[in-house]
Amino acid sequence: MKVLVSFNASEKQKNIIENLLNGYAEVYYKEDFPNEVDILITLDPKRELGEERLISLRSLKFIQCVYSGVEHLPYELIAENVLIAGNFGAYSVPIAEHIVGMILDLAKRLTANHIKLSRSIYDRNTPNKMLRGKTVGILGFGGIGKETAKLLKPFDVKILAINRTGKTDLEVDFIGTLEDLDFVLKESDVLVISLPLTKRTRNLITKRELNLMKRDAILINVARAHIVSEKDLCEHLLENPNFQAGFDVWWREPFMGEEFSLNYPFFELENFLGSPHNSNIVEGMFEEALEIAVKNVLSFIKGEGVRNLVNREDYL
């Protein structure tokens, strides 16, 4: 089979791809674009190839995205018979560490107090929060959610998890589906969002859902910003100064082809913490994720079980 890699791969990344597919496929890169392509390994095919080139891939059978999220893929340009796979869970470990870092920063008020001290404000009176005995809700109990639960286990917290099936092989205090969202919101001292952005999860958390949460809860979002209403979140933070939020994702950012900008003054608030969508940016992580993706391509070529297939109806 002919495999096209549409992103600008480094020599190290090319070696990973070619070594894994050696003897099973001919590998091409967009600078030597072949006439026919069976498999596409991509980050963002529309941006990398353009609409005309992408549509011209008439023999395409399988698309493997190296990113975990797939809401950005141009489904309308891809023939219905083409199988599409995400790379769900490939970046779980560093993202889970980032989540725990954000939880601890907010609970212990590290950044907030650092900023105060830099302004000569010596505040010993605002209490920190202790995690022991608290309840952590995790919306999206896939790779990231499970790794987060494992890291939080030594803190002796309760884990309330939500996924598609309401089942998990990891020991938790509760496992349910989005039908149980209200219960998890009400019970959680910390809420972690690691869900994919789909038709159902877009604007999942609005004013109604935020008002169900505890007034001193911590909300962490490492998934996609559009799962939470930007306006409703900012208003909730302003009205509830003991409520805290940490976001690694944004409503407009370069990752989605837009300039980073906000419509509301999040960074004027002491109860908000942000990072530039870099929870997965650690040395060697992209190469690890690429290897997972290429192994999935190899499974497709061999006719074995393919992981992380995308249901287009979730996104169209």
Point out the residues that are catalytic.
Answer: 224, 253, 277
CA dihedral 243, 157, 280, 216 (to 10 degrees): 0
Q: Which residues pair with 37 in a beta bridge?
A: none
Q: How far apart are CA 121 and CA 170, in angstroms?
A: 44
The CA angle 103-107-113, to the nearest 5 degrees, is 115
What contacts 231, CB < 8 A, 6 or more positions away? Answer: 263, 264
